Structure 1
Amino acid sequence: MGTIKCFVSSPNPEASASTTDFAEAYKIKLESLRPKKAFLSTLNNEQHAHINKLIKELEVYLWMAPTSPDTIEDEHWRRLMAQKSTSDRVSYLRYLAISQHRAKGDLLRKKSTDEELVKLREAERERFDRGGMGYGPGMYQIMLNPLRNKKRIHQQYGARVWRAMRLDEKPHIVFDMQFIDEMQQRRRSIIGNQMQFLISENFKREEPFLLSFANFNDQSEENKRLLNKTSRTVRFCSFVGFYSGEHTNQTILPDFTNKSVHELYPDEKEIVYISRYGREVLDGPLRNKVYVICASYDSNRESIGAARKGNFRAMRLPFKRYVRWQSGPQYLPFINLVRVLDEVYQTNGDWKNALLNNISKRHLRSPEETSAYAAFNTEKTKEKKRQMEELVKMIEDATANA
């Protein structure tokens, strides 16, 4: 069996002057990640025993894993306790570590930009004080583009949606959210992030779609967190956003409602449920009033099941007619799918170009073009899997009697 190098992500052991310094850094790191007393006071005896086992696992993880989280909050400990296996817990710790590392990088980049802005304003102030043309607050002002004002931007977005509602010429798009409660947190976050970009891009269209999100359990705490960023401590999670931001009253946001698609649109004849398992092929101009998209990865044929349950017309995208799909599942991310529908609407039925413009090139490459990269990627994945399995086994062996 191979070996895994020992690391503690912060502070870096390579920067330590000696083994003693490394051990001290490890102790400090471990203490900072332990559950808080207030959290422990809410647990019963059985949960205390479980959390003690998790702390033992964390001790080994810190020694052996290449990355570790900077913080583990109460919510993270609850989710760790809910994981069923050591492998799941190791994956979750690694997910926390990577997410927090990326968030820290984003913060550093923003701080660097803010510092540069302060220096620029100081230079402009010096120029102004010397009698020159210094620009900034309390100095000379440049005529700003009104579209850069946040409030004005939101008003523009709201006006576009209002115009689309009044004219009601463009098809409506409904996302069926009924399966989101069954997903793991990571997948929920990814979908929430996709929805955020999707809504943002739709606002920027000259003629936006009228979006709505049906079958959404708005009483669920998890779903409330999906819509609103409520805490800085969970910054690395993905949220739909907009619903807790500034100037939200200046625009018209899509509805996240617990109503079904039938309740929103009673006439089922005007509805098409997009499913890659549908028998009919969607082609030509968009003639129907409503297009429903299943907000899931559709790995268990959720879309066709929901279409049949709702007695909707299920139709698949015309991939086989217009593109040579070489590899991977015939699945488009939600934002790409909406782009396809928008382009088809604008071109009155040009599916070929709409699909080619929005399908990742990796799906269209021949096996010969991708074989070298695939072989390299496979070996890399195998090595990561091997290291993960070794780490899990070491943790299980070290905590067998815990």
Structure 2
Amino acid sequence: MQSANMLLKKIVRSSVLPFAAQHGMKKDLFPLSRTLSLSLCLKQDNSCSPSEKLDLDAWKKVMKSGLQEVVNETVSERKETSTLAAAREMLEMWRLAGKSVPENISEEQLKTFMECTSKSAQKKYLKYLHLKELHKKNDKRKMEEKKERRLEAQEQASETDVTKKNSFICLWANCMDKVHNWRAAQSMIFGQPLVFDMSFEKDMSVREVANTVRQIVLSESSNRRSIDPFHIHFCNFKDESLYHKEFIKHYREAWGKLLITVTDQCYTEVFPKDKLIYLTADSPKVMKTFDHNKIYIVGSMVDRSIKTGVSLARAKRLGLETAALPLEKYLLWNTGAKNLTLDQMMQILLTLKDTGDWQKALEFVPKRKYCGFVNKPVHELRKTVSLINALKLGKRQEEVRKQFAKNYSKKQTQK
């Protein structure tokens, strides 16, 4: 038994350890050889008889296979670190050349940069990270300036009235926060459900997912501060998805304390189909009134390229009823797509739920997208829209004046 162990130690020292010393793995293989020899002793004491011999060829195979695995792992790690270092050097060169490259980039961001398919995609991703870093710096600078101003104000405000006023404001804010949380808790039992469809992660880039989550955070805060909030449901929500990571970045420890319902099930499995209405701008059916007995679904998607028909196709595949907001009926639409952000949709739905007035609800549509509310006959509105478009297209002023004069003379003759 001792002679077998001595022979095994000689083999390890003569063949394996020199090779490991060349590649810097001697420390890793020394405990391995020691454990093999100890396990051999235990095995011989428990099961082997003195007449049995040690199979050195099997032990050589075991040692070679373990060594090959260690070598492969170290080689792959070295290749990965070398490629990351080369990518960092290239980004440093781009930064010195004056290109928009972030100063600090993490390994995860560097890997996503290397996974980009084209050079233009890499530049766009770097520009996005650079702008994000600039926004963070500006926010940090503003917070520091605000903190300095607050400290200066606290130093200057030594009178008792000011301190009483500040304490009253803090007390009022805490009380209102408790009231809002109580309303949100009540909405989880008695409130009307509102579903956010979280199944569009594959149709968006990382930047678009971040914008989507930012809009949903604004929607949740406005819903929590409303008089009669919705019971928000996040359906088709997967753990460790991009949505989940972005939500944790925004909420941090408060993510598990939100008064909303999060599930990985589809909304057709949670609610009956006859009560579901999918709100999409591509729907041919126009929404006339707000129904308090229905459950409205909003697609959690921000698409800069404006992919039309994605949410409508999903609703049709599931056999759901669809509806679009009556923007053309109440607004003199100017130009551009009729897609609204998620926080604007939340404000519109909350106003409709509370008042039922379309004019008040559609005030949350950005003013740049329409010229005004519809309060004239349709043919007159079309003429004014055509004149506005003619001015935007750059027609000559004389032609526009002639057209305006003709329309004006016709109105005078009709009177």
Shift of 1:47: 4.7
Match of 2:139 in 1: 106
Partner of 2:410: none
What do you get for the CA RMSD once the two structures are aligned? 3.2
Which of 244, 251, 273 aligns to 2:253? It is 244
Q: Distance in 1 between matches of 2:76 and 2:392?
A: 49
Q: How big is each residue's C-alpha offset from its partner over 1:264-288, in whole Å with a ceiling of 9 and x where there is no partner?
A: 21x2111111122223221123244
Q: How does 1:230-379 map to 2 (within 5 A)?
A: 239=250, 241=251, 244-245=253-254, 249=257, 253-265=259-271, 267-296=272-301, 297=303, 299-348=307-356, 350-355=357-362, 357-365=363-371
Give the counterpart letter for 1:74 in structure 2: E
Shift of 1:373: 8.5
Alpha-carbon distance change, 374 to 198 in structure 1, aligned in 2, over 3 angstroms: farther
**For 2:147 and 2:168, how far apart are their aligned partners in 1?**
22
Q: Distance in 1 between matches of 2:283 and 2:165?
A: 62
Q: How does 1:387-402 map to 2 (within 5 A)?
A: none
The Cα offsets for residues 41-90 of structure 1, whole Å up to 9 and x where unpaired, read as 89656656754663464244223335431211112111111111111111
> TM-score under structure 2 normalisation?
0.65
Partner-residue secondary structure (3-state), 1:245: helix
Distance 2:226 2:322 in 1: 27
> 1:33 aligns to what?
none
Match of 2:97 among 48, 58, 64: 64
| 2:233–2:262 contact (8 Å) kept in structure 1 | yes
Q: Are the aligned partners of 1:271 and 1:288 in contact in 2 as well (CA < 8 Å)?
A: no
Amino acid across the alignment from 2:173:
R
Structure 1: gaps (5+ residues): 1-40, 230-238, 376-402
Q: Which residue is equivalent to 1:160?
A: 183
Is 1:189 aligned to residue 194 of structure 2? no
Amino acid at match of 1:245: A
Q: Which has the larger radius of gyration?
A: 2
SS of the residue 1:281 aligns to: coil
1:261 Cα deviation after fit:
0.2
Q: CA deviation at 1:260?
A: 0.8
SS of 1:83's equivalent?
coil
Per the alignment, do residues 141 and 198 of structure 1 end up closer, same or farther by CA in structure 2, a change over 3 Å counting? closer
> C-alpha distance in 2, partners of 1:341/1:140?
36
TM score, norm. by length of structure 1: 0.67
Whether 2:91 is the aligned partner of 1:81: answer: no
Which residue number in structure 2 is paired with residue 223 of structure 1? 243
- Cα pair 1:286 1:344 within 8 Å, conserved: no
Query: What code does the residue aligned with 2:238 have?
Result: N
Q: Provide the C-alpha distance between the structure 2 equivalents of 1:49 and 1:64, rounded to a whole number of angstroms.
A: 23
Aligned residues: 305
User: Residue 181 of structure 1: CA displacement?
Assistant: 4.1
Q: What is the deviation of 1:143?
A: 4.0
Separation (CA, whole Å) in 1 of partners of 2:296 and 2:172: 32
Q: Which amino acid aligns with 1:184?
A: S
Mind listing any 5+ residue stretches in structure 2 that lack a counterpart? 1-73, 372-384, 395-415
SS at match of 2:277: strand
Higher helix proportion (structure 1 or 2): 2
Does 2:124 match 1:91?
Answer: yes
In 2, Cα distance between equivalents of 1:359 and 1:52: 48
What residue identity is the alignment partner of 1:308? K
Name the % identity.
20
1:302 alignment partner AA: V
